A and B are shown apart, each in its own frame.
Chain A
Amino acid sequence: MTTNLYLWAAYGIFCAIPLGLAVSLAARRRRVQRQMGEEIGARGKAANGGDERRAPQ
């Protein structure tokens, strides 16, 4: 019974670590993409002289 606990704990680790890394990578990519969106938005705003209603030239 105790032996099975070690087995389940090991397979818990085998599932958790790759899943955790995949989730962490996805979250970090989302953050970078959001920051890129903000940068592009800020550039567009600056190009329009601060008026967000005008399309970027």
Chain B
Amino acid sequence: MRDKITGWALPALSVLLFLAALGMVFFYAPREATMGDVQRIFYFHVASAWVGFFGFFVTFCGSVAYLLRGARTWDILALASAEVGLAFITMTLLTGMLWAKPAWGAYWIWEPRLTISAVQWVLYVAYSMLRGALDAPERGARFAAVYGIVAFVTVPLSWFAIRWWRTIHPQLLSGGEMAITPPMLTTLLVSLAAFTVLYAALLRARMQLERERDALAALRAAQEGA
């Protein structure tokens, strides 16, 4: 019963929050003076980047826990979070390009933040492909866990890229101060909440899928053993 309520509550809450955030982006947040309406991409772009990074952090934690404890649950958490995180980072990259064209005059510039983001995207695409390609489940899971830990290096690198190197990517925090007005910040926080709940709902669904796949594999193994 509790499971059924959570099963509906999370997706329903994520849809409600997503619609609320959309409403705030278009009807509450003020029009930015320099960039105009295209600046509204920022709210969901930043939120999806943060949640994507968080997803990769969960993969990192799940991978470490799997190597330490060896429980399949941690492996499932790591792989599910990587897949969901990758979806969020894909959105971040695509919408960043759509913002960059009117703002910078080009869809893509090989500056530090964008270059690290591209490498990160390729690494996690490879991780997802690897998970589907490995035949020996336990060895594959251990290998994927090590990969998940190493690939996480791109997250702090991406985070600090705009602070360590000269880059044209905008900074939200500049000299300890927010570069946006209070209504903009509220809209960003609501967008962040919406994307976090959406991540949780998708992660839960992806983990359930993997558990059911395990149950099917066990059923087939029992059938073959009989």
Contact = CB atoms under 8 A, between A and B. Distances in A.
A and B bind: yes
A39 B38 CA distance: 53
B105 interface: no
A7 B41 CA distance: 6
Contacts of B226: 46
B179 interface: no
B219 A25 contact: no
A52 to B, nearest CB: 17
A3 B22 contact: no
A13 B94 contact: yes
Given A29-B205, A36-B219, A10 B41 contact: yes
A4 B101 CA distance: 12
A6 B102 contact: yes
Contacts of B48: 14
Interface string B196-224: 00100110011011001101100110010
A6 B11 CA distance: 28
Interface of B: 11, 18, 22, 25, 36-38, 40-41, 44-45, 48, 84, 87, 90-91, 94-95, 98-99, 101-102, 198, 201-202, 205-206, 208-209, 212-213, 215-216, 219-220, 223, 226
